[in-house]
Chain A
Amino acid sequence: MKKQTILYVLLAAVLVGGIVGYQLWNKPHQDIAAAKTDVAVDATALYNEYNTDENAANAKYLDKVVAITGKVKDASKDADGAVKVNLDAGSEMGVVACELSPFAKHARTEFQPGEQVTFKGKCTGLNLDVVFVECVESK
């Protein structure tokens, strides 16, 4: 009888462990649309911050949910249907590039040059551009 109880307890522990492990393993990507915005910034201001002091900007923006507002410079869709919207950053060369999230649904995927938009996304740092991934449009 006692042996049986121990067996059941063990079995239950393994089961719970398995479920927790499985859920952790299949943890979904962060729901950016529902996530709280950590910091909101204008595309040109952000780009200038990055080009003034990259380390300071990284400390401020990396891994944060950032709401980024700017004017669309151009937008493109690749062969996989992935959309990237480049925001004007007040520079000839660089832009603030926003990759729409492949993990989220989007109300629209067409963006016209010149329109003012706000995206929420994750800042990945400065390449030539400041690049955001997992973006969703914010109303």
Chain B
Amino acid sequence: MQKLIVAFFALFLLGTTAHAQKYFTRDAKVKFSSETPMEKIEALNKSGTCVLDVATGKMEWKVLIKGFLFEKALMQEHFNENYMESSSFPNAQFKGQITNLSEINFTQDGKYNVKTTGKMTIHGVERDVNIEGTLKVSKGTLEVLSNFVIKPEDYKIAIPSLVKDNIAKEIKVVVSTTLAPLKS
């Protein structure tokens, strides 16, 4: 009988620890910039989403293309209509997996380097990518920061030759956010 009770509690504990804990945000900031001697272009989106399952290291990020705001209305228009074709391809996403999960203690405050691998989809083109970033565990929340580079040609984003000197070959992207536990 005692054994049964122990087994029951062991199972119960296992059940709770194995229960996937998820972290979430709907306020991820995604900023990109293109710098050339001719021109500096910047845009910011403040409503990216991320769901991270810390038990498995799986993560999903998604951002709506029309939500990128530019200082210049004309740039925003060209970005949506000519380059990103955002009516046909309304979002960009990254579905990935943390590859160094064992090096991260999600319950211990501190800063950790995070390595991920996964699939990035932009402009309807899916590519395998490896993206790195940092994760700061602080009082039960996760502060995420990642810098990476996107090449427009990799995602079949055509830049007209007339403006090819105005738009960088490599677009710098910065993603920053704080993930909070998802109550389920």
Task: Determine whether the beta carbon of A125 is less than 8 Å from that of B91.
Answer: yes
- Any chain A CB within 8 A of the CB of B172? no
Task: Determine whether the beta carbon of B49 is less than 8 Å from that of A124.
Answer: no
Which stretch, B6-14, B65-73, B96-104, B121-129, touches the partner chain A?
Answer: B65-73
- Any chain B CB within 8 A of the CB of A58? yes
Task: Determine whether the beta carbon of B74 is less than 8 Å from that of A25.
Answer: yes
- Any chain B CB within 8 A of the CB of A30? yes
B28's closest neighbor in chain A, by CB?
A127
Q: How far is the CB of A91 from chain B (nearest CB, A)?
A: 13
Q: How far is the CB of B30 from chain A (nearest CB, A)?
A: 11
Q: How far is the CB of B33 from chain A (nearest CB, A)?
A: 16
Chain A residues with CB below 8 A from B63, complex form: 127
Please tell me the size bucket of the interface on B: 20 to 34
- Any chain B CB within 8 A of the CB of A24? yes
Task: Determine whether the beta carbon of A82 is less than 8 Å from that of B46.
Answer: yes
* Residue among B27, B47, B76, B91 with the highest chain A CB neighbour number at 10 A: B47
Chain B residues with CB below 8 A from A123, complex form: 66
Number of interface residues of A (CB under 8 A): 30
- Any chain B CB within 8 A of the CB of A129? yes
Task: Determine whether the beta carbon of A63 is less than 8 Å from that of B69.
Answer: no
Chain A residues with CB below 8 A from B152, complex form: none
Chain A residues with CB below 8 A from B66, complex form: 62-63, 122-125, 133
- Any chain B CB within 8 A of the CB of A52? no
Cα–Cα distance between A28 and B76 once the two chains are bound (Å)? 11
- Any chain B CB within 8 A of the CB of A27? yes
Q: How far is the CB of B51 from chain A (nearest CB, A)?
A: 8
Task: Determine whether the beta carbon of A26 is less than 8 Å from that of B72.
Answer: yes
Q: Do A128 and B74 contact each other (CB < 8 Å), given the known contacts A62-B66, A97-B26, A133-B67?
A: no
- Any chain B CB within 8 A of the CB of A76? yes
Q: Do A27 and B26 contact each other (CB < 8 Å), given the known contacts A78-B46, A125-B91, A133-B67?
A: no
Cα–Cα distance between A134 and B66 once the two chains are bound (Å)? 11
Q: How far is the CB of B86 from chain A (nearest CB, A)?
A: 8
Q: Do A84 and B46 contact each other (CB < 8 Å), given the known contacts A25-B72, A76-B27, A125-B66?
A: yes
Give chain B's interface residues, CB within 8 Å of chain A. Answer: 26-27, 46-49, 62-67, 69, 72-74, 76, 87, 90-91
Sample of 16 more A-B contacts, CB < 8 Å, known A127-B62, A133-B47:
A24-B74, A25-B72, A26-B72, A27-B73, A28-B73, A29-B73, A78-B27, A82-B46, A84-B27, A124-B65, A124-B67, A125-B90, A127-B26, A128-B49, A129-B49, A131-B47
Residue pairs across A and B with Cβ atoms less than 8 A apart, 8 shown, are: A27-B72, A62-B87, A82-B46, A84-B46, A122-B66, A123-B66, A124-B65, A133-B47
